[in-house]
Each structure stands twice: as C-alpha cells, then as structure tokens.
Amino acid sequence: MDPLLAGDLAAFPELLQATRDYATRLLLGINERAVARDPGTLSPAPLPFDGVGAAGALALFGERWAPGFSGSAGPRYLGFVTGGATPAALAGDWLTGTLDQNGSNRSGSSSADLEDETVGWLRDMFHLGQDFTGTFVSGATMSNTVGLAIGREWLGEQLGVEVARQGVGALGPVTVLSGTPHSSVVKALSMLGIGRDALRLVPTLDGREAVDVAALASVLDELGGRPAIVVANAGTVNTVDFDDLRAIASLRSRYPFWLHVDAAFGAFAALSPSHSHLVDGLDLADSVCVDLHKWLNVPYDSAVQFTRRRDLQVRVFQNAAAYLGDPGPNPDHVHLTPENSRRLRALAAWFTLAAYGVDGHREIVVRDISAAQLLGERLAAMPGVELLSPVRLNVVCFTFSGDVGRAVQAIAESGEAFLTPTVYRGVPALRAAFSNWRTSREDVERVVEVLRKHLV
Ligand SMILES: *Cc1c(COP(=O)(O)O)cnc(C)c1O
C-alpha cells in the first residue's frame, strides 16, 4: 500500500475527528460567514504526483479553497431556490459516503429498499396516491427529464409505436404545452430528442404566470385528437404561481395528453395548511417532479420523480444486460433512470424525515413562508420599491427605481445576504427565495437593513 494511504488507514479515527472538528467550525460560523464571495481568480494547480495525505489535503483545502466558498447553506442566502442541510440530513449524507452503497440494484444489500421506503414516505407527504411509484434522481432537471421521457413513451403507446425501440422520429411532430415552464423543461425536450421547438407556450391568466386553462383547452382542441404532453407548473420561479391542476387534469376527459407537473419546490405547499390548496389535484398527474435539495433541506444532489406508469418507465430506461437480469415487477433502480451506478441519495432524505417527521418539515415550510411575507411587507413599505406579485409562497419578486444589477452586486458584497436578479414581464427585478431550515425573523430584519442601504 502507498505509504501515505497506509498512514491514513492507520490514522483513520484521528482523521475523521479532524474533519469533524473542521466541519463543526464551519457550521458554527455559518451565520457570520459571508453569504456570497467574490469567486476570485484561483488558477488551477498542477496535478499532484506526490500527495500530502488526507490531513495535508484538509489543510490545503482550508487554505486554498474554503475561503472562497459561499455561505449558501446558511439562513440569508436567498438566491435561486436554495436549501441548506438539516443536521439529520447532513448526518445521513456523511453516512452515504461512509457506507458507499451502489443504489443501482438490489443484490446483496437492503439499501435499495431504504430508497423505496423513503420514496413511499415522500409520496405520502405530498398526498400522492398509492399507485405512484418513484425513484431518486440528482435534481429537478433530471426529474423533469425522466417524467417527460415516460410521457414520450406514452405518446408512442397512443400512436401505436414504441419510442424506446423506434426512436422519437417514429412519433412524428410532438406538441408540448405549458404556461410558464422552467428552463429545465426546455432543456429536457432538447435532451429527449423531442426538441425545444416542440414547446408551445399557452397564454397565462392576466397578470399571472398560471396557465389560462380555457386557452389550454382551445389549443388542445386544435390538435384534433392528437395526443400531447402538458407540463403544468406548481410553483414558478419568479412569482411562485400555480396552475389549476385539477382543472387541467379534468381536460383529459376531452383530450388525450400526458400530464407532467413540475412541482420542484411548490409541492411543499402541501405541508402548509393555509397553502395546501395550491397543489390540489397534484395526485391527478401522470408524472410529478419534486426537488429535495431545495425545500427538504438535504445536501445536493437530490430530487425525486413520481409516476403512475412504471411499466413505461422501465421500457425507456431498462438496462438490458444479462448480468443485470430481468427487471421483473420490482425493478432495480438501474432500470428507472438515466443512471447506472448511483449514490444512495435517499439516505439523507430518510434521515431528515425520520428525525423531524412531517411536522418538523411543516414547521420549516411555514416559517420560510412567513419570512417571505415579512420581507414582502417591509419592502412594500420602502419608498421606490414595488412588489411585482403578491407573495404567494416563499419568494418575493420586486423591483425598484435604481439599477438592479448594481444592487444585486452590492448586496452580495455586503456579505449579509444574497439575492438573484431576474426579468419579470420585461422588468428587471430581484428575487428573494426562502427555503432554508435556519432562517429566522431576525435574519429577515438583517436582510431588510441591507436592502434599505442598497435599494436607492
Ligand atoms: C429548481 C427548479 C428546477 C431545476 O432544478 P435542479 O434541481 O436545479 O435541476 C426545475 N423546476 C423548477 C420549478 C425549479 O424551481
């Protein structure tokens, strides 16, 4: 054995302790750590031929890289939709690496069953029926991709072709309809060979990002009975608007379509008694995307995809090799997603659900929503600031009379908060998205102080 490696093996306990101590210092400092950092310009070091051992690597990381890392896991990082990691989720993530299971198959380990148990818990938490099955993927982009791939196979079933064998060309032109889809849906269409141009944007309700269901019905009507894919959105990124899922689903009695719902973070509205109506009808979907590294607060990379047509899913993703065996009624995960070998990402989600339960996660969701409402109230009272939509859930989308780009940068440079810019209905705007498990009202007041300084 290489002497450095042998030394690390001998000193494994001390090494883990040192890593733990280092992680503890990082975590205890996260509230005061600069929320965002100037990435700077570290040029890549040459490939090391003589290593420095794990303790040396830890020191090197601490000197060279850690200072430039953001405090995105902390309570005042309000960019994009970004979660942190609950204590239990982090523990689960550490153990994921420790046990290093290959979540691709069921042979020789119960780890795949843990994934199934976790998917079942999530299915119940989001009130999806027992006929939904699911699997873990790396993020909502991949969850949307898998859902749309199953929808693509369903189109084939309607048209009497098998896309998995014959290719997407056998379908002829495909129509995908959506009001305000996330960019990842468009990317998925490119990856799936359906093509970005297959997307037809359907008008939204006046002043809203939610689709106009009557307009959707008339576009479906124009298709003259040709099956389509509808992507409904449960939580848009700018204004967190929700399509009327029940009304959309009811159109299936008149028109044939696969209903995919992108509920990446909006699904968590189901946990808040005053917001659960927003996802009413989610269980009527054919496939559902839910991100977990956002509002469940597990570390990256983690999301879940659900569907009621596992048979079609296996048709798409079956990894046909003699040594992998027949998928059978309880297929290995290797037959369910684009991946083959995969990390047991379910473990972090299992830990946080086991630790805090639905009620603990409900508390996080409700607290984040009230943080967004508080920020919304404070901003509405600031001169020159305008909210671009009501605060429907956990995002505040607003503009002000000054230069948005400059404000975003100045806020980031303050180290106190991080917001991301957007353009909403042609208006340059800022978004503050709340999805971290730590965020308190005091954090909101700290953010308000920073915004007061920079929104001028
Ligand atoms: C974040 C998000 C995605 C993409 O999620 P990733 O996990 O970054 O791939 C897709 N849809 C919606 C609505 C999102 O908010």
- For the segment 340-395, what is each residue's pLDDT rounded down to a tens digit? 999 999 999 999 999 999 999 999 999 999 999 999 999 999 999 999 999 999 99
The whole-number average pLDDT for the span 434-452 is 98
Pocket of ligand 1 (CB under 6 A): 81, 139-141, 144, 182, 184, 235, 237, 262, 264-265, 291, 303
Q: Report whether pLDDT(39) > 80.
A: no
pLDDT digits (tens, 9 = 90+) for 139-169: 999 999 999 999 999 999 999 999 999 999 9
| Separation between Cα atoms, residue 453 and residue 456, nearest integer Å | 7
Rounded to the nearest angstrom, the distance between the alpha carbon of 423 and the centre of ligand 1 is 17
DSSP secondary structure, 71-105, as one string: -TTSTTB-SSS-----HHHHHHHHHHHHH---TT-
Rounded to the nearest angstrom, the distance between the alpha carbon of 43 and the centre of ligand 1 is 30
Rounded to the nearest angstrom, the distance between the alpha carbon of 237 and the centre of ligand 1 is 9
Rounded to the nearest angstrom, the distance between the alpha carbon of 294 and the centre of ligand 1 is 9
The whole-number average pLDDT for the span 301-310 is 98
Report yes or no: 222 and 180 within 8 Å, Cβ to Cβ.
no
Q: Report whether pLDDT(88) > 90.
A: yes
Rounded to the nearest angstrom, the distance between the alpha carbon of 20 and the centre of ligand 1 is 31
Q: What is the pLDDT of residue 314?
A: 97
Tokens of 435: 């999805």
Rounded to the nearest angstrom, the distance between the alpha carbon of 297 and the centre of ligand 1 is 14
Ligand 1 pocket: which of 82, 144, 145, 182 to mutate (most atoms within 8 A of CB): 182
- For domain 27-41+53-100+356-456, give its CATH number from 3.30.365.10, 3.30.300.30, 3.90.1150.170, 3.40.50.720: 3.90.1150.170
Report yes or no: 394 and 366 within 8 Å, Cβ to Cβ.
no
Domain limits of the chain?
A: 27-41+53-100+356-456, 101-342
Instruction: State the chain's mean pLDDT as an integer.
Output: 97
Q: What is the pLDDT of residue 239?
A: 97
Tokens of 143: 């969850």
DSSP secondary structure, 330-385, as one string: S--GGGTSS-SS---THHHHHHHHHHHHHHHHHHHHHHHHHHHHHHHHHHHTSTTE
Q: pLDDT band for position 325 (50/70/90)?
A: confident
The protein residue whose alpha carbon is closest to atom 5 in ligand 1 is: 140
Judged by DSSP in three states, 24 sits in helix
Rounded to the nearest angstrom, the distance between the alpha carbon of 169 and the centre of ligand 1 is 28
Q: What is the pLDDT of residue 41?
A: 79
Ligand 1 pocket: which of 145, 237, 261, 302 to mutate (most atoms within 8 A of CB): 237
| Separation between Cα atoms, residue 279 and residue 63, nearest integer Å | 46
Ligand 1 atom nearest residue 303's Cα: 7
The protein residue whose alpha carbon is closest to atom 12 in ligand 1 is: 264
User: What pTM did the predictor assign?
Assistant: 0.97
Indicate the Cα dihedral angle 37, 43, 46, 48, nearest 10°: -10
CATH 3.40.50.2300 corresponds to the domain 101-342 = no
**CA 323-325-331 angle, 5° bins:** 130
